[in-house]
Amino acid sequence: MVGLEFEVLPESSLKCNDVIEFVLGTPINQVITALQNASKVIRNVEFVYSKEEPFTRDLTITLKNDGIRLIIEPVFQRLKLIEVYDFKNITLKYW
């Protein structure tokens, strides 16, 4: 069973219809709010950061069920990388 279907905009964003959109450069608070608003479809989210070096190491938000990792740079806290690491539960489409 394939879950969500994302549209890929290279070097820009990953969008799932009207459910959620991840755009490079988005502030962390907007990413977290978007995930909260999509909580009916996106579950099992993991947030990892360094307590010892919070401003030198990237923050990561992993959507474990969907195989997507969002990397956020630590100083300005903006989305800098969208990594798709598991293609079993999602479909990517490119126009």
The number of CA neighbours under 13 Å toward the Cβ of 58 is 13
Give 27-57 pLDDT, tens digit per residue: 999 999 999 999 999 999 999 999 999 999 9
Q: Cβ neighbours of residue 90 under 8 Å, at least 6 residues apart?
A: 2, 3, 4, 5, 6, 66, 67, 68, 84
Tokens, residue 82: 């969208």
CA distance 93 to 58: 28
- Whole-model pTM: value is 0.92
Q: In what side-by-side order are the strands of the sheet with 20-23?
A: 20-23, 13-16, 4-9, 90-93
Give 6-26 pLDDT, tens digit per residue: 999 999 999 998 899 999 999
